[in-house]
Amino acid sequence: MESNKQHVTASLIFTITTATIGSFQFGYNIGVINAPEEIIKDFINYTMEKSLEDLPSEMLLTSLWSLSVAIFTVGGMIGSFSVGLFLNRFGRCNSMLIVNLLAIIGGGLMGLCKLVESVVMLILGRLVIGLFCGLSTGFVPVYIGEVSPTALRGAFGTLHQLGIVIGILVSQVFGLNIILGTDDLWPVLLGFPILPAILQCIALLFCPESPRFLLIIRKEEDKAKKILQQLWGTQDVTQELQEMKDESARMAQEKQVTVLELFRVRSYQQPILISIMLQLAQQLSGINAVFYYSTGIFKDAGVEEPIYATIGAGVVNTIFTIVSLFLVEKAGRRTLLMIGLGGMAFCTSLMSISLVLKNSYDWMSFILIGAILVFVAFFEIGPGPIPWFIVAELFSQGPRPAAMAVAACSNWTSNFFIALLFPFAESHLGPYIFIIFTGFLVAFLMFTFFKVPETRGRTFEEITRIFEGQARRADRAEGGPIVEMNSTQPNKETFSDS
């Protein structure tokens, strides 16, 4: 079926928008803890003093605050690695519905922690909401990729990242001391995720299950056909159904793919390597270091109200994610990744130079702020949105849940270590800290140039066949490389330049 017969229907928009509420939750809970930091520290101090009947040590307070922040990422790591357990057992839609219970429990624990004066409830709530977000980062890209028409898969896949950055921005705005970032209302700020969770639960009742899951896993062809026709606004879905049948027939001849087999089977080795490396590229680019500590960076740069500059960076974040949405199906995934990584490498170099010279030249503070904003823009052009949805494109139905679990866990794990190690690295390296990120960015740029394929315009089945064919050729080559992929144009038979 030609892509011009597929339409963007109201049903498709509603379905994808509903899914991205999970993305919004992830972004919101990343940023929500930062704005009321001092207020929450005072709460911990007061609560511990009351329970210990003595002044708690500075080390204990710092440890409890750090645990409150870091436990979210630990929950995300555990949740992300559990993605595969849900997707094929309950389906994509039902999985998103079920795990919203975690969001409601986590939000409730955090929202009530001040009322019952319990630091343990705060920490436990952060852990539970982290579990929810870890699972959502696996569910949402898979579901969006499987309900989207091939020609629009990249554009709709970008909406996952758009949901994340809107969530971050909303948490920054809500966290202002004129809204919810006050001594009385900060529990409402932390408990807010209950509302989007309830909204998504209601909306998911009207969303269809993934047609690929229904046909390939459940063998419900008629139901899958009706859903495709409804979502894509066309009666002619014969080619897509045949592709799914072919994939189902191949899966019937294979045993279920485990995480270990992703690394053992040659045809999976290249795509899982690409998936992990792109997730690492996203985190080791320095983007979270910039956002975690942006208020301090802007303050050092001389900004009187640094929180508003941080919100400004969030606005830039959102705008350029929308730009990427329109570019990804025109320029392609690989091209946008290289533009983004190259631009970020330049910006991190400029940021280091500005930090070194800002005490000597006042105008360097403006260069630093500009470099940060452009850095954020380049991130959202490619390295931000693409690693999430390209994983679903590189794998067929069988290994996709396990691959998404590995990729998401890689993202959360690297996120955890960046948050943990960045303050120590900054204290030792000072203004030269961003040179490390420059090195990472250059390395990932080279990897993308030599190893990452262009998946724009290709079906899941075509991509899988190409990896399998290249794996067979590599087996015959006796020690030759698994695959060389640097095509920027869609091609039915190969990733090599046509």
63-67, 156-160, 390-394: which is most confident: 156-160
Where helices occur in 113-216 by DSSP H, the ranges are 119-147, 153-174, 186-191, 194-204, 211-212
Per-residue tokens: 6? 């597929």
DSSP states of 35-82: TTHHHHHHHHHHHHHHHHTSPPPHHHHHHHHHHHHHHHHHHHHHHHHT
> Token match 């911990």: residue?
44
HSE (side-chain half, CA atoms, 13 Å) at 359: 5
> Token match 């996203």: residue?
282
DSSP states of 11-46: HHHHHHHHHHHHHHHHHHHHHTTTTTHHHHHHHHHH
**Helix H or strand E segment including 230:** helix 221-232
pLDDT at 496: 44
- The amino acid present at 488, given as its one-letter code, is T
pLDDT in tens, 223-236: 999 999 999 988 88
SS (H, E, C) 338-371: HHHHHHHHHHHHHHHHHHHHCCCCCCHHHHHHHH
Q: What is the mean pLDDT of residues 453-465?
A: 81
pLDDT in tens, 170-200: 998 999 989 999 999 999 999 999 999 999 9
pLDDT at 65: 85
pLDDT in tens, 340-368: 999 999 999 998 898 888 778 878 878 88
CA pair distance 72, 131, nearest whole angstrom: 8
pLDDT in tens, 150-166: 888 889 999 999 999 99
Under 8 Å CB-to-CB from 374, ≥6 apart: which residues? 343, 347
CB 385 within 8 A of CB 158: yes
pTM, two decimal places: 0.85
Closest CA relative to residue 287, chosen from 31, 20, 23, 24: 31
192-196, 280-284, 455-459: which is most confident: 192-196
CA pair distance 129, 100, nearest whole angstrom: 9
Closest CA relative to residue 347, chosen from 321, 375, 370: 375
CB 70 within 8 A of CB 150: no
